[in-house]
Amino acid sequence: MLRRPLFVLFTIVVVLAAAAPARARPPADPLAGSALAGCGTRQTPSVVSASTYEDINPPAHAVDGNPDTRWSGYGFGAYLQLELPARATLCAVQVAWFRGDERWNDYTVYTSADGTTFRNVNAGRSTGTTRAMETYAFTPHEARFVRIAFWQNAEQHLWASISEAAVLGVDATGGTQTVVAVGDISQTCVAADCPTARTAALTGQIDPARILGLGDQQNGNDTYEDFLRYFDKTWGPLKGRFHPTPGNHEYEVTGADGYFRYFGPAAKPQGASWYSFDLGNWHIVSLNSEYDRNEGGAQLAWLRADLAATTKPCVAAYWHRPKFSSGSGHGNFPNVKPFWDALYAAGADLVLNGHDHDYERFAPQRPDGVASPAGIREFVVGTGGAGLRPFGTTVANSERRIAGTHGVLRLELGTNDYAWRFVDIDGTTRDQGGPVACH
């Protein structure tokens, strides 16, 4: 069944009347490639919609990381729209056309800051030679909404079909980037004085560039409805900056369905539940400690390739279960040693975890637990709002332990160094250090 709501049809008429004459003649060789210099930060959309679509090929299929699914819409000027959680400086879109190696497609890319007034930023014709992503660049400018409009293809019919689409923003360069990291966040309390609400309010006051969710974002009540009922009521306004990783509680629902449904494209921005992104001079890697963590698995192979490819001088990684922990709830989890081995070999600087409901900082150490200046510093920050626990036996290289206190870890990621502050929900700094040079 083809969906064509009346209000959407009206929108199409307006777009055609205003925008169609402005289409540029398709260039012979449209700009293509995996990224442009300084334009490689993928923006995660919060809403994906379209002017028209088939039930079996909805808009969400264009951002699900699966090249075998697609969005399909019918009509001259049919468009796919990606809405970001906030304005950002955008510089390109990437499009993988369905059957893109068999036919070209004429397109126009529009952007808007407010969702009402759109400007034509790139018009052209796809190569017709690949099913991979093609990159269509434009002059960097601030926007929140991106439309990819379709006009015709080589087969002269009006079905638009896009397998995958992405929006790229200008890379952060130089300077210090503020990041908040915290895990084990929400249970069932949403009142303003609940720990979960207070860590959310504290994070909003810090106003970080990115938020690293260290797993168990929804702790103990993990369905999609639970995410909406609890986590979204407190941390929802920060969702656009949130980069999650799944925890053991999220997998208490089969396949972590609630987690993946709630976070949508942000949970699998590169097609799997592990991914990476750059922030300033830092390469940041999100891993899944609940699934496929052993030698020979897809996740570890991806991690090694990802680390080999980065040119950033500083590297941080995060997942849920810590290899080293003095927490009484869980303690050490040796099964993530393959992650540590790969990161240590690549000269990584930081590992961030949750799982134990406390705060703990370690001295730099090797994967075998021997202290070393060339090692990785680990933080455990399971203090986002779930019930807290005491410490058990102190493990080697533990430098600072704080029990019974909710709060967040504030990181200042510099051009070649990092500093940290653990801030409790009263706004008091309970632990701090740095700057420490990257390896």
The count of other CB atoms within 10 Å of the CB of residue 116 is 7
Q: Which residue has the tokens 């993946």?
A: 260
Q: Which of 293, 361, 377, 352 is nearest to 327 (CA)?
A: 361
For residues 262 and 223, the answer to whether their CB atoms sit within 8 Å is: no
159 exposure class (CB count in 10 Å sphere: 0-12, 13-18, 19+): middle
For residue 7, what pLDDT is reported? 36
For residues 437 and 417, the answer to whether their CB atoms sit within 8 Å is: yes
Strands 210-213 and 242-243: parallel
Computed over its alpha carbons, how large is the radius of gyration of the chain?
A: 23
Model pTM greater than 0.95? no
For residues 312 and 375, the answer to whether their CB atoms sit within 8 Å is: no
For residue 173, what pLDDT is reported? 65
Torsion sign (Cα): 381, 383, 384, 387: positive
User: What does the alpha-carbon distance between residue 92 and residue 99 come to, in Å, rounded to a whole number?
Assistant: 22
Side-chain-side CA neighbours of residue 258 (13 Å): 25
Report in angstroms the alpha-carbon separations of 270 from 92, 157, 276, 350: 17, 31, 8, 22
User: What does the alpha-carbon distance between residue 263 and residue 12 come to, in Å, rounded to a whole number?
Assistant: 29
For residue 90, what pLDDT is reported? 92
Classify domain 177-437 at the CATH topology level. Answer: Purple Acid Phosphatase; chain A, domain 2 (3.60.21)
The CATH class given to the 2-169 domain equals mainly beta
* Beta strands, E only, 200-318: 210-213, 242-243, 275-279, 282-286, 314-318
Q: Which of 275, 279, 206, 273 is nearest to 238 (CA)?
A: 206
35 exposure class (CB count in 10 Å sphere: 0-12, 13-18, 19+): middle
Strands 79-97 and 105-112: unpaired
> What angle (nearest 5°) sits at the alpha carbon of residue 16, between those of residues 14 and 20?
140
For residue 112, what pLDDT is reported? 95
Domain map of the chain by residue range? Answer: 2-169, 177-437
Q: Which of 108, 141, 105 is nearest to 22 (CA)?
A: 108
Q: Which helix (H) or strand (E) holds 202?
A: helix 195-206
Report in angstroms the alpha-carbon separations of 394 from 29, 214, 332, 360, 408: 62, 22, 11, 10, 22
User: What is the DSSP code string of 87-148?
Assistant: EEEEEEEEEEETTTTT--EEEEEEEESSSSS-EEEEEEE--SS-SS-EEEEEEEEEEEEEEE
Q: Which of 431, 397, 221 is nearest to 324 (CA)?
A: 397
Helix axes 298-309, 337-345, angle to 10 degrees: 20
pLDDT per residue, tens digit, the chain (439 aa), is 555 443 333 333 333 333 333 344 333 333 333 345 678 788 888 899 999 999 999 999 998 878 889 999 998 999 999 999 888 889 999 999 999 999 999 999 999 999 999 999 999 999 898 888 888 999 888 899 999 999 988 887 788 999 999 999 887 666 788 999 999 998 888 899 999 999 999 999 998 888 999 999 998 778 999 999 999 999 988 887 889 999 999 998 889 989 998 888 788 888 899 999 888 889 999 999 998 888 889 999 999 999 999 989 999 999 999 999 999 889 888 999 999 999 999 999 999 999 999 999 999 999 999 999 999 999 999 999 999 999 999 999 999 999 999 999 999 999 999 999 999 999 999 999 999 999 9
User: What does the alpha-carbon distance between residue 382 and residue 398 come to, in Å, rounded to a whole number?
Assistant: 16
For residues 192 and 183, the answer to whether their CB atoms sit within 8 Å is: no
Largest CA distance in the chain: 72
